[in-house]
Amino acid sequence: MRTEHIKYSLMDYITDHLDEYDRDQVRLHLQQCSECQNHYNELIAAYDALRHTQKVLPSPAYYSTILPRVQERLMGHRDSLWSDRKITSRLILPFAVSALLLILLIRTPSDFSSGHEQTDALFQAVKDYSADEVVQAVSNEYAGSSVLSNQEVVSEGIAEHLQGDHFIREALMKQIESDEIVDMDIEGVLSGLNREQAEQLLSGLTGREML
């Protein structure tokens, strides 16, 4: 096993989640590699600290309240939303597409010609919201318009907006394909927005109705 593999197995070694063979490998490696020994010592210290955390249990009755409340909310929304259910789930799909629409909303047209830096920051600002949040925020803005009714239409519209902007385009396609969870530095991203833009983002997201 390479050092990388050993190093990344150390926590499983410490918490006893390795099979016998891997455990021996790690143990033998630790005897001869000071670098991994250092990692090991650090992880052990962290592990000791971690054991101080214990669960704070909710009241015993709590779990029995979950289902009734879920059902109540389902009943409340069923009448108004049930018939739209199919459409809604289709709307959830083009997540990144919708994220981009939101970007279009918070930028003025002139921003499109500005440098990649801002484009980048704005894209970052919205690309990690959940599909329903972004879609809802966007569809509130576009209420009555048919722009969101069909993923292809949206994609085409965006492609038009994005002529020449390869970065967003690539990131967008990648995200559509992988639907992965990406780390983001929200504070860093938001510091690239002015307060008005940030508030606009927030109100778009919190003002939404439950899908």
Nearer to other proteins, 43 or 147 (CB): 43
| Residue 118: closest CA among 183, 193, 186, 173 | 193
Minimum CB distance to other proteins, residue 164 (Å)? 30
Minimum CB distance to other proteins, residue 133 (Å)? 6
| Residue 45: closest CA among 78, 85, 14 | 14
Token look-up 């983001």 returns 184
Instruction: Kindly state whether residue 153 participates in binding other proteins, applying the rule CB under 8 A.
Output: no
Token look-up 């150390």 returns 10
Instruction: Kindly state whether residue 201 participates in binding other proteins, applying the rule CB under 8 A.
Output: yes
Which of 61, 63, 110, 117: binder of other proteins (CB under 8 A)?
Answer: 63
Q: How far apart are CA 71 and CA 69, in angstroms?
A: 5
Phi first, then psi: what are they for 142, rounded to 5°?
-100, 20
Instruction: Kindly state whether residue 179 participates in binding other proteins, applying the rule CB under 8 A.
Output: yes
Instruction: Kindly state whether residue 85 participates in binding other proteins, applying the rule CB under 8 A.
Output: yes
* Rg of the chain (C-alpha set): 24
Q: How far apart are CA 4 and CA 211, in angstroms?
A: 44
**Which positions touch other proteins (CB under 8 A)?**
7-11, 15, 17, 39, 42-43, 45-47, 49-50, 52-56, 58, 62-63, 66-67, 69-71, 73-74, 85, 88-89, 128-130, 132-133, 178-184, 186-187, 190, 195, 198-199, 201-202, 205-206, 210-211
